[in-house]
Amino acid sequence: MQKLPEKCPICKSEILVTRFFCPRCDTSIEGHFQPQSGPFSDLTEEQIHFVLTFVRCEGRFNRMEEELNLSYPTLRNRLYDVIRALGYEPGKEEEPTLTAEDRRRILDDLEQGKISPLQAQQLLQGLEVESMKGEK
């Protein structure tokens, strides 16, 4: 069964639903109903089932592997599909922003030998840096 569109396919205005029909019991309900919308409205039934299972299992893939009988890579790919369907890109985080002063301080420390080139690179990329071995 197809999902109810959120907008009119002709003029793109809001849709107002005026009738529901149950084919099982032959019941019709008439009135004015807003279509469901929100961040999860574009997810497929399978994706919604995945999200509900993910929440029920508290995000623990080992529990989901048992419940859904799927491998870790399959679960991860399904999670990435849900993330993309919600309009995000998996694994992509906001770039850390360093001020010009921070960048200059890091480069000065590198020039003075206070930090290694690897540490400078990590600092410039916004990563946490372990102290150099042998430092006191």
What's the pLDDT tens digit per position in 1-20?
667 777 788 898 888 888 88
Residue 134 binned pLDDT confidence (cut-offs 50, 70, 90) = very low
Mean of the per-residue pLDDT values for the chain? 83
DSSP 3-state of 28: strand
From the list 31, 27, 1, 38, the residue with the least C-alpha distance to 16 is 31
Residue 34 CA: distances (Å) to CA of 14, 17, 19 = 9, 6, 11
| Predicted confidence (pLDDT) per residue in 10-50, tens digit | 898 888 888 888 999 999 999 887 766 678 877 888 999 99
CA 33 to CA 20: how far, in whole Å? 9
DSSP 3-state of 88: coil
Around Cβ 50, how many Cβ atoms within 10 Å?
20
DSSP annotation of 19: E
CA 50 to CA 75: how far, in whole Å? 9
Q: What percent of the chain clears pLDDT 70, i.e. is strictly above it? A: 84
Higher pLDDT, 58 or 40: 58
Q: Determine the pLDDT at residue 61.
A: 92
Q: Quick one: tokens of 99?
A: 């001020």
